[in-house]
Chains A and B, each alone.
Chain A
Amino acid sequence: MATLLSSSSSSSLVSSTNLSPPSLPSLSLSSLSLSSLSPSSISLSHRSLSSSSRKHSLSSFTVKAVASEKKKVLIVNTNSGGHAVIGFYFAKELLDSGHHVTVLTVGDEGSDKMKKPPFTRFSEIVEGGGKTVWGDVGAIGSVLEGLTFDVVLDNNGKDLDTVRPVADWAKSTGVGQFLFISSAGIYKSTDEPPHVEGDTVKADAGHVAVEKYISEVFGNWASFRPQYMIGSGNNKDCEEWFFDRIVRGRPVPIPGSGMQLTNISHVKDLSSMLTKAVENPTAASGNIFNCVSDRAVTLDGMAKLCAKAAGLPVEIVHYDPKSIGSDAKKAFPFRNMHFYAEPRAAKDLLGWKSTTNLPEDLKERFEEYVKIGRDKKAIKFDIDDKILESLKVPAAV
């Protein structure tokens, strides 16, 4: 069975991990114990692995002894969009587990983009013992001059042009493990959901070229394909889109039947999966992981769950997106089709478990929504009004 490596070097890390934000638990290294199930990141046990025991052991669990080594991790983070929050949670989770973290955010520290979450909370990374720097990926060598890392996560590029400089630099500086945030959007649509790792992807997708490249360049690589996320610090609206309408007593216009299934995960599910990969590099190596929770929700269902979390009624209105022409894309924040992947590889290979609980998570999200005063914010609903007009539905009292 695995034995805990005595890593005297790790004791020096204890002091750097004493601060954690409310949403993540803190870990003191001295309390690490290796049970047959737990990885060294078991600080998260209160929400994941403790209850249901895995009845059989996979060889990946014996790798955990090796994985309790602390890593130097570089996160190359996008400066906007839905994926920005992934790097934020991942950084904090790694710091909690005692790893060394540097976050390189693309662009300028002074840019307007940094005035939005999660960047407004980057001090939490620093307080947790991490480093935050800014720069362009084209100049990554000079931005990170003299620094070496064990692991690099590219949470920025969507195509080879943007990722190649990072990958090449990482390779040249001896990075052992290269991780990439790809997208579940690259799966070809199917009659037989869910999207499972290994299914056909769209050959011309930028992310596909990246996955191919890193698989050729690195001995140890993994790609993570996320969908939609909720969580404090999110850069892009998700549940807020529903709350905006529900709180103002406006109908929620959903394209098509509302039966479309999608996967909306709490970002903690993504950061925990990434952390598992860092701490179990052998098990993760050479694999694609759908980086999502393990439940799907319908679009109508999401509206209903948001309303329930808010303690308010909801009126859902369906419309044909073709009837509003080019506005259709901006009208609704989710794809108008089944978009449903399952995290089977992570469960099978990493022993990862999902902790997303949408009904509960949305309650927390709604509390924050109100706390920051967004329910009182003046918002324009031009496209909604267009849709309702075409359906002859009254907008609100």
Chain B
Amino acid sequence: MAGGVAAVQHNFKSYPSVSILPSSQSTFCGTKFITSIQYKRKVCQPKGALTVMASSSKKILVMGGTRFIGIFLSRLLVEEGHQVTLFTRGKAPVTQPLPGEADEAYNAFKSKILHLKGDRKDYDFVRTSLAAEGFDVVYDINGREAEEVEPILDALPNLEQYIYCSSAGVYLKSDLLPHREVDAVDPKSRHKGKLETEALLESKGVNYTSIRPVYIYGPLNYNPVEEWFFHRLKAGRPIPIPNSGLQVTQLGHVKDLAQAFIKVLGNAKASKQVYNISGDRYVTFDGLARACAKAGGFPVPEIIHYNPKEFDFGKKKAFPFRDQHFFASVEKAKEELGIVPEYGLVEGLTDSYNLDFGRGTFRKEADFSTDDIILGKSLVLS
């Protein structure tokens, strides 16, 4: 695709306005993904509900969309027959084939996706380019600060829905778990920008929906969540886990997250609502190590527990998760919108392994330096 400069690229001339694309093959090659999403949605419909969801084609802007969540989401949106524009700086390729994706499917997607190249922090550019295009719906996948949202809202006064990817990281740490949408949030958290964004959306009166994922995993994950374990398992190394290993966390498959984002589109029940979206079971740190081993066909791993206070790792992270319980109830989305994750943990990790790490791809090179510090000291003590 030729790189345009601050211009919307039209990759094709005409666009079918309403019909849902008849692609019947699986979009996300490998396992779960089937485009009988229509059927699924109807099944999950609460009785008596007449909502016709996302049946008309919309002009959709995705802020981001080229790195992880957005890659899966944009495919679903295109398949649903929407006109999808990705707003990115173009650092990552605008489109890339999904692992194992058939050429035909990829090309079909590639031919329909649009790119708006720019820096979302250039607020003037955001205002003018968005106003020039006009969009019905915005999916804000990579927004971090409230001020990034203002120019978008300014440019799109007739916006139907602003769908925001927030984070369960906004919850205030608590002795009572799981986190629920009604719980106290932490205005001082690392994710306070997300909180401020939610507050801004609320105050502006726009029809917004905010999704709070926990830890996201799946093929193409750029956050070393499962990858961290896979590197060690592949190398046959022990897995160093801080403290008791009983800390409970929660992973949500990126494809389930993408499906949830689709489900809230045009859904009146989701108006001005916040939803936790993740897997419907939680997992201990030790359990996650074992689940990753199962997923990759590795033997049961040796787990070494250590007291992180006894070490100085400098700037490096010795473990990819917060050292605390961190999990959220996904009941609200289930009860109100019929959103139910498809992937169980081992199943989902297997999907990730088969489509990514297991094929020899990963985002970060293995770095066992902190492991060696931990293991080195353990050896010395014994």
Contacts and interface: CB of A to CB of B under 8 A. Distances in A.
Contact of B282 (A55, A57, A193): A193
B188 to A, nearest CB: 20
B49 A256 contact: no
A37 interface: no
Nearest to A193: B282
A295 interface: yes
Given A295-B177, A297-B175, A304-B175, A261 B49 contact: no
B241 interface: no
Contacts of B243: 257, 259
- Residue from A59, A194, A260 whose CB has the most chain B CB atoms within 10 Å: A194
Contact of A56 (B47, B283, B325, B345): B47
Contacts of A347: 331, 335
B246 A55 contact: no
B175 A194 contact: no
A260 B47 CA distance: 39
A338 interface: yes
Interface residues of B, number: 29
Contacts of B79: none
B248 A256 contact: no
Contacts of A190: 287
Interface bracket on A: 20 to 34
A50 to B, nearest CB: 15
A57 B281 contact: no
Contacts of A301: 175-176
A194 B336 contact: no
A325 to B, nearest CB: 21
Contacts of B178: 295-296
A294 B71 CA distance: 35
A338 B246 contact: yes
Contacts of A298: 175, 325
Contact of B325 (A57, A259, A295, A304): A259
B19 interface: no
A193 B175 contact: no
Contacts of B325: 259, 261, 298
Contact of A259 (B46, B246, B269, B288): B246
Contacts of A304: 175
Contact of B244 (A58, A256, A302): A256
B247 interface: yes
Contact of B284 (A58, A191, A294, A297): A191
A54 B48 CA distance: 14
Interface in B318-363: 325, 329, 331, 335-336, 345
Nearest to B338: A56
A301 B174 CA distance: 8
Contacts of B336: 55-56
A133 to B, nearest CB: 40
Given A191-B291, A260-B246, A55 B175 contact: no
Interface in A246-272: 256-257, 259-261
B281 A196 contact: yes
A296 B176 contact: yes
Contacts of A296: 176-178
Nearest to B174: A301
A358 interface: yes
A294 B335 CA distance: 15
Given A55-B336, A56-B46, A194 B269 contact: no
Interface string B226-243: 000000000000000001
A55 B269 contact: yes
A192 interface: yes
B290 interface: yes
B305 to A, nearest CB: 10
Nearest to B332: A52
B286 interface: yes
B335 A261 contact: no
A56 B177 contact: no
Given A193-B281, A193-B282, A261 B46 contact: no
Contacts of A295: 176-178
Contacts of B269: 55
Closest 9 CB pairs of A and B: A191-B287, A301-B175, A56-B46, A257-B244, A192-B281, A295-B176, A192-B283, A259-B246, A193-B282
Interface of A: 54-59, 190-194, 196, 256-257, 259-261, 294-298, 300-302, 304-305, 338, 344, 347, 358-359
15 contacts: A54-B335, A57-B46, A191-B286, A191-B287, A191-B288, A192-B284, A193-B248, A257-B243, A257-B244, A295-B176, A295-B178, A296-B176, A297-B175, A302-B175, A338-B246
Interface of B: 46-49, 175-178, 243-244, 246-248, 269, 281-284, 286-288, 290-291, 325, 329, 331, 335-336, 345
Given A191-B283, A301-B176, 9 more contacts: A55-B269, A55-B336, A57-B48, A58-B47, A191-B290, A193-B282, A259-B247, A260-B246, A338-B248
